[in-house]
Structure 1
Amino acid sequence: MLNKIAGLLFLAVFFVGNAIPSAEVPQQPPSDDALWAKALRIHREAIVVDTHSDVTSRMLDEGFDIGRRASDGHMDIPRMKEGGIDAQFFAIYVAARYAREGGSARRALDMIDVVYRALEQYPNDLELALSAEDIRRIARAGKIAVLMGIEGGHAIEDSLGALRMFYRLGVRYMTLTHTNTNNWADSSGDQPRHNGLTEFGRQVVREMNRLGMLVDISHVSDKTFFDVLETTRAPVIASHSSARALTNIPRNMSDEMLRALARNGGVVMVNF
């Protein structure tokens, strides 16, 4: 299943943040009108997958109604439809403070619950997708396929059992770290403690491979990244990352990392 989902992601057009409304022209249209028209045609014909939206946090913490057009923020159902989004990964973001204070798994469960509540509230617009075929079927039905990705591996609280349970609840990728180094993987945003992945971290990657859950390397340290590629038996993704050659910060990916990920068969979704 993982290879099927990764294959679909590879063929899709990816937008993180606001999608470009297909019925509108941009505020600053490109000089080559023919090129812009071609881009819009490809956008409309492709299965468009946004692999990372943090609107879930707003839904849980602020009671944000995703079904109503908002005057702020980046995402709601009306704008997703206008932008031609076919499939949306809702980020199950678990802040670093939960790793320090406790409650990481509970926070993840609360966020998963709010996604399920949106599915129940808007059954004519949203439908849960668990596979690439689900995404295709839901897109044909004219609805938005809803998927979930955990952001921050500390959400599993060092338990492969918890990882499996999250998969059963519908989580289809996990970002191994957020800005914090956890007990088994170093982050690009924190001090290294493990020189990359620990042995348990490698077990996590192998179990994700077995389940069919995509391994997301956004936010991880360079050493963790290369340890993941050494361990994985399936393509990996960067759900929201950018090029270090353009913006030189540890969070971004070097040219060496980008080439290595390409050899792995994985994909990078540009963060903007």
Structure 2
Amino acid sequence: MPTDASRLHREAVVADTHNDLLMAVTVRPPAEWADYFRARWLPQLRTGGVNVQVLPVFSGWDHETDGALKRTLRMIEAAHRLAEGNADAVALCRDAAEIDAALGGGRIALVLALESCIGIGSDVELFATLYRLGVRVASLTHMGRTAFADGSGEDATGGRLTAAGVAAVAEMHRLGMLLDVSHLGAGGVEHVLELAQGPVIATHSSARALRDHHRNLTDAQLRGIAATGGVVCVNFFASFLHETEHTVDKIVDHIEHIAGVAGIDHVGLGPDFLKEVEADLTPPWCDGMEVAGLDIHACVPGLEGPEGLPLVTEALLRRGFTGDDTAKVLGGNVLALLRRVLG
């Protein structure tokens, strides 16, 4: 790979494993979904050089099961419609061949990910239904509790997976669905790593050794994920990087630490760009809104959205990462994982 930052960013595969843009899409009327994506998000993804975009389908701890299932289905439908309405630019991909075809045709490969399984309840068989609809990545919970596991916000319980959670892991392996441990509580991560029969991913988690927050992963967890053949994708959310210093170099600190602990083949990018999404969802009088005690509007300057991703490439090269290693971090590792699991 080249060592010039602009050229390297253009030539590398850039994979973002967590952008909640579907939440912003679905607050609009369905007739506007495809056009809104084309007008507002597609230019940002193109400017940022994104080639593979994982799209979370989110339900939080405050959604009841039936409402969460309807929300889940609505977001999946939105993903299909925005892909169909922008077929010249993006493709919703279900396997490695479709991802490679999209990349080969100059389109952005979209991959659906279930963020929390609240809508499923304890009905493990519904994973197969969601798989038929195109979901290829799933996490068992968000900050709180589901029928499968406790989220990291409930770490004090010491909870591992429930019996239904164990069955869910087995079913996801059977289907060829990639298991995401971001948001899972510490006991649940340990349990998943004991059960894993293949690679797992952390789609948007950073290093706890650098920022002691329950949403970040310990060195032992990083090594465990790497041992499965999985990838840890660094979250850019400012409050997960450092208490006060919110800079691109802090992102690189987390990338460098994870690469040092887990290996350079096991780190990627999961930015979790929230500023624009939350601006769409949050009333203007709630500008100081917090989630889990953190300011959700705090951002790394220049990385409020995907347009800023070339800054990460520049920072990695400045830090001394080689062109080849930078390309792995930008998306090569995630692409290799998707090919391996979804192939």
- Residue equivalent to 1:208: 172
Q: In 2, Cα distance between the equivalents of 1:125 and 1:258?
A: 35
Q: Which has the higher contact order (CA 8 A, sep 6+)?
A: 2
- Residue equivalent to 1:89: 54
2:14 to 48, 53, 71: 48
2:38 aligned with 1:67 = yes
* 1:140-219 correspondence runs (5 A): 140-190=104-154, 195-219=159-183
Q: In 2, Cα distance between the equivalents of 1:194 and 1:269?
A: 24
Aligned residue pairs total: 230
Q: Helix, strand or coil: the match of 2:26?
A: helix
CA offsets per residue over residues 145-180 of structure 1, 9 Å max, x none? 111101012222211221110011000100111011
Q: Contact (CA 8 Å) 1:96, 1:180: kept in 2 or not?
A: yes
Q: In 2, Cα distance between the equivalents of 1:109 and 1:78?
A: 26
Q: In 2, Cα distance between the equivalents of 1:188 and 1:110?
A: 26
Q: In 2, Cα distance between the equivalents of 1:155 and 1:41?
A: 43
* 1:28-39 correspondence runs (5 A): 37=4, 39=5
- Residue equivalent to 1:271: 235
Q: Helix, strand or coil: the match of 1:68?
A: helix
> Structure 2: which 5+ residue stretches go unaligned?
237-343
The two structures, once aligned, show a CA RMSD in angstroms of 1.8
1:139 to 83, 103, 109: 103
Q: Contact (CA 8 Å) 1:51, 1:89: kept in 2 or not?
A: yes
1:248 to 212, 216, 224: 212
> Structure 1: which 5+ residue stretches go unaligned?
1-33, 70-75
TM-score of the pair, normalised by structure 1:
0.80
Q: Helix, strand or coil: the match of 1:149?
A: strand
The one-letter amino acid paired with 1:104 is: A
Q: In 1, Cα distance between the equivalents of 2:89 and 2:165?
A: 37
CA offsets per residue over residues 82-104 of structure 1, 9 Å max, x none? 222111111101122113x6422
Q: Helix, strand or coil: the match of 1:67?
A: helix
Q: Contact (CA 8 Å) 1:181, 1:193: kept in 2 or not?
A: no
The structure that is helix-richer by fraction is 2
Q: In 1, Cα distance between the equivalents of 2:207 and 2:25?
A: 30
The one-letter amino acid paired with 2:143 is: T
Q: Helix, strand or coil: the match of 1:96?
A: coil
Q: In 1, Cα distance between the equivalents of 2:214 and 2:128?
A: 30
Q: Contact (CA 8 Å) 1:86, 1:144: kept in 2 or not?
A: yes
Identity across matched positions, percent: 37
Distance apart, 1:259 and its partner CA: 1.2
The one-letter amino acid paired with 1:91 is: P
TM-score of the pair, normalised by structure 2:
0.64
Change (3 A) 1:224 1:198: same
2:102 aligned with 1:98 = no
CA offsets per residue over residues 19-66 of structure 1, 9 Å max, x none? xxxxxxxxxxxxxxx95x2x4433322322211110100100145611
